[in-house]
Structure 1
Amino acid sequence: MCLAAAQRTVADDFLPHSCHCYFLLAGASNLPILFHVEQVRDGRSFATRTVQARQRGRCIFTTTISFVKDGSSGPAGTQVSHSSAMPIDPATKLPVQPPPDDYDGEPPSMAQGPFQGTQIQILSPSGTSTDPRDKKTRQWLRSRGKITGGTAAHLEALAYISDSYFIGTVTRLHNLWRFPNFKPEDFDKLKPEMQERVRILHQWEGMGDDPRDMAGRPTLGMMVSLDHTIYFHEPKRVKADEWMMNEMESPWAGDGRGVVMQKIFAKDGTLLATCVQEGLVRLQPPEKEAKDSKL
């Protein structure tokens, strides 16, 4: 929504190329959000906007967005150009291919919300590495239904989709148990309908077929996004209602935080955007420590 508000204040031939966001306070879903746009700079080639999302008089989210005038980069001979290639399917050794347009492989419990996706894959070069530094996640995503409203609407949808499963990548690469209210060892004690919900989510996030296999793994205690950056490389080629490949990896985690980098490709292999997110990632203390902390 902040991107949408900012785009309404610049000329149609100015396109966003970077967006730097900070999550400051938890928002209340039952209260309206006011968006305040500050016109920081309007130049011939670049324009800058700062947007604050406010609730109850407090800023809960802020972003600075830079726009570049379309075609202002100069002739082709004066530019440096390269781009990451589409990820390779380890099975075929060819670029990954999108699902069919009529894809309906989502479990009913996952087939909700404004975007559609495939099951997350967790991959490593060897296929067996347990080192988080070696692993990546891949998932195809697109908006649910056709998007109207031109390039601006597609960019807003991409920005929304880019936050999907983002900082949670750290937990997947570290193979953490994501349900702090019960242990994998207690899975059989759950009601059948809850077992099915947990099993589907566990499989959907690429964590395996049987949640009980996670017995003994560390448990996630807290995870919150702190900031989010998007670099739009090819804004006019973004079609968020077509399949986009999202590949994520984590170069670092420590000191209670984690960083995830994301590349978003169009189905033809065009690198559309690169995103970076840092978040708070803390483990649940061991049972003894948790009890001691309450004394």
Structure 2
Amino acid sequence: MKIAALQMVSSCSLPDNLARARALIAAAAEAGARLVALPENFAFMGRDDRDKLGLAEPFGDGPAQAMLSEAARQHGLWVVGGSIAVATDDPERVGNTTLVYDPQGECVARYDKIHLFCFDDVTAQGARRYDEALVLRAGETPTAFEMSVDGQAWRVGLSICYDLRFPELYRRLMTPPCDLILVPSAFTYTTGRVHWELLLRARAVENQCYVMAPAQGGVHENGRRTWGHSLIADAWGEVIASHDEGEAVVVADLDRDHLAQVRQRLPALSHRRLV
């Protein structure tokens, strides 16, 4: 099965971002992808985190959700909407939410980011603190979904960005084992250059599955610089496709025989003693 990680440099304009996302989905479909995934915050990168509050969509309605559904149906593929702001019952908090659409345009899975990023940046110019929990409500439920392509079933685990640092989440997703884990992200440049590939390859190795990480990658309208380097790693931890910065469609093939060979040669999943 061919899959595609869509890299973006999202702006402060919702309509522009949705148009760019739709174009990248179309390009991935043209390349033969059957599953495509957008990055975290693909629809909007505001100047301030609180800008998300005014653009939060009710679950099941809104321009970002409509675009995802229409694109999935138009191209007949599975679309994973990285993350968007979804309204909660707290007007001061939104969910950072991944939504998955099947080829008929139906929303078949929802995951709300569990681990919220907090970072203290101390420099010669002073200290700066960034805390997602000031605007986001953390999710609670690990989520995976089943998809079928050409008669083959695939189990896909969901996570978002900072979740990557918490291996216990991925262990929860491996009962039963996932064939693919998705990590849509907007990793900072500072942390991305040292930890991004290292952590993604580790998650692939320890869980013996493919990992696809579509990312924000470049200098955004709000001045923020994200690391990019969207990649797809195989179950042996090898990076089989990647792109550094700027918009991109990163394509690779999933090989079920490769998964079986890795798990047969080194059956680490069956050797677990602590679950």
TM over 0.5: no
Q: TM-score, normalised by structure 1?
A: 0.27
| Greater gyration radius | 1
Q: TM-score, normalised by structure 2?
A: 0.28
